[in-house]
Chain A
Amino acid sequence: MSAIGSRDSLLQLTRSGRSRSARLREFVNRAFFTSCLLITSIAIIALTVLLTTVAVQGWDGLSLEFLTNFSSRNPEAAGIKAALWGSVWVCGVCGLVALPIGVGTAIYLEEFAGKNRLTSFVRTNISNLAGVPSIVYGIIGLTIFARMFGLPGIGTETEPGLTVGSTWYDSYYTADGGVAFRPLESRGAPAGAIVDGTPLLLVDEVDTSVVQPRQLPALVVADGDRGFSVALEEAAIPITIGTAEEARDRGATLAGFVRMTESGNPRVWDRTTAYLTDATLSGAVLDQATSVEGRWLSCEDLAGETLFVRVPDDRYRIESGDRAHRLRTVLPRITRTQLEATSTPERIEVMLGEGGRLVQGELWNEYRVQGRRPTRYALVEAKAAPAADPPPVGGWLPVYPRLRNEFLETGSRTVRASVVADDAPIDGLPPGAILASDAGAPLPDQRLERRSWYYFQFPFGKGVFAGGLTLMLVILPVVIIASVEALRAVPNSLRQASLAMGATRWQTVQKVTLPASIPMIMTGSILAMSRAIGEAAPILVLGVALFITRTPQNLMDQFTILPMQIYNWAQRPGESFQELAAAGIIVLLVVLLTFNAAAILIRQRLQSRLES
């Protein structure tokens, strides 16, 4: 309808004035005003009802614990710590990328660009981008940022082609069912023989709920005025068994050295003789080696070499499973009934197999029930209390290194591990050595990754960085549009004056237009950021895990955000989860209102000065 049309209706009015009484028209006007009031109040009522419901439902759930606890399957203990920190990280990344690009685009469009087709195309494009549903941006983020189109040669999210700042460990089963870790140079490093002096660490199953200080078998090596010092396993590495390969190369036909098993399946060799040496297997040494007759389990280690593990005489059943499991079940299965009382210490042989080398030691074992899962403690032979009566040099003693918890990434999941604390190293265990993991089931032949705070990977995966970039796409048009409006509001006379004085365009922007428009830009940016804080759909599409109980540790780390956490709770049946959702909403709304208030404050403070 054009302005002419409006004039036509003006003419009409004069006619209708005759046909309808002024009184009636006045009545209609009054009635419309009243209904306007009523209808307008619908929005107010909706907001009031919404806020009241949320407040009533969520008020009880609000507490300090709610802010400092992680999410939990138990509604009583659930909190939003992970979600809060996740939101902070993601919105931080989002803001750091979106604001410069957005303001830059606005400056280009308003101050630099000529009036040509390209400029108007960019403008149209931006206003169209603002209308794209945020879930579509989520798909773009997933395909580009998290996966980089799945292009060949650049790796995948879980096995990125490029990583910076991660340390890799190989995990092994040890002969007594524990897990040993060995640091590696890189993800692709071959699982090779252990280098002398590299700590190979023995880890047992630990209860998932509590990672407790582990008792480690330690050898007392010195006893002095200030107490005694211990070493781990140092003196207990006497025996090496040669590999089958080497034996075959020598052309020797020795009992106990059998040909390589093709499939890698362990086989049991009954009553075979193995040659035990204390050095690497050279011809001379092998001839002098002691032979031991017994029952052996042959298996392949990670380097593809055949190992022989002595099976204790009283074990005859060997269960099937993957090769690590067969090794494990050399030892008896522990049942709860057996464990009610502390069992009689049992002497078994423990071997750590690695790269064709067997390390044999003798440990006393004691089984205890801790939590739901039986946990094995390796105890020392000398049972005397360490402080009161230190055992003689050469005896065994439990030591309790100070531990801290760390999170380790496997290919598919995160496990919590106990790590020797920096300030409490003990001999043989450097700070940072991994002692225990709560992976639940041990990790057969897996590579573990420990990520430092500056860990970076490409493709980015479904981490904080990809999430932030995705949200950046969502708010970028908002930032641009707000900034363009802000720059437009600067009077043209200021610009012209600056240019007339010989300033370049950038100098004009830097010294004149940008300072004048910064309050409006800031207001727009803050409002855009509050949009980012409340946005859930794109992050949901990115496929972040719904249940996360840790804060992000680096830019590539898993995360959840507050709206996702709320969604997670709200979609569950059950009153208690609805209350949690409401409590989460209160926190979210408080954050958003703070942002809005800040925007309003800035607008009023800075803008009024400019106008005055």
Chain B
Amino acid sequence: MTLLELLEGPLWIASASIFVVFAAFRLIVILFTGRREAEARPVGSPFLGALRTILGHFLPWRRLLGNGKAWFVTIAGYSFHIGLFVLLLFAAPHVEFIREKIVNLPWDPIPRWGFILSAQFAFAGLITLWVRRFVDPVVRLISRPDDHVAAGLTFIVMLTGCMALGEQSAFLRGLHLGLVELWLIYFPFSSLMHTFTWPFSRGFTGAMAGRRGTRA
């Protein structure tokens, strides 16, 4: 068995299994552990508070706008996340791989120019956001090593993916796939889980604030 066969076979199954099992486990723990009920009399609606926060946080934070503030954070955030989402689910090599290994996706891949453009948006956004973690004193203080590992690993996965774009080298394909598998194994134990947990964390914070009659 060649290394590429190992990466496309047993190692792929192992890493995907770790990803699914532990990500599901974390979500179940978050949803079903529960917490002590608040005893204070509610002032506002927790439901409305949750809804407002979940939806409202899609808009730029007013304090981040204007007068040299971090307006670019919102643009970079959208650029990275939408770019990565399109890359992951609509790029031709990914569509082919998912169809072969996981499920028959019902959509066609985007053309190559769309693939390249979405990769460029994703890279520009990721670099901007990652750089901000180093040069914004406040964000630097609240950033943990995990945040940097998560950003770095995501960057390396994307970089090796773009290096393998020529589809001429089994080595480059194997390198990309190997790093994807490492990323999948790291995912459930890291801040990358925000991919799934963001509605819950926003909703919980918003509900608590709504109950108190304030805004999150």
A, B in one complex: no
Chain B residues with CB under 8 Å of chain A are none
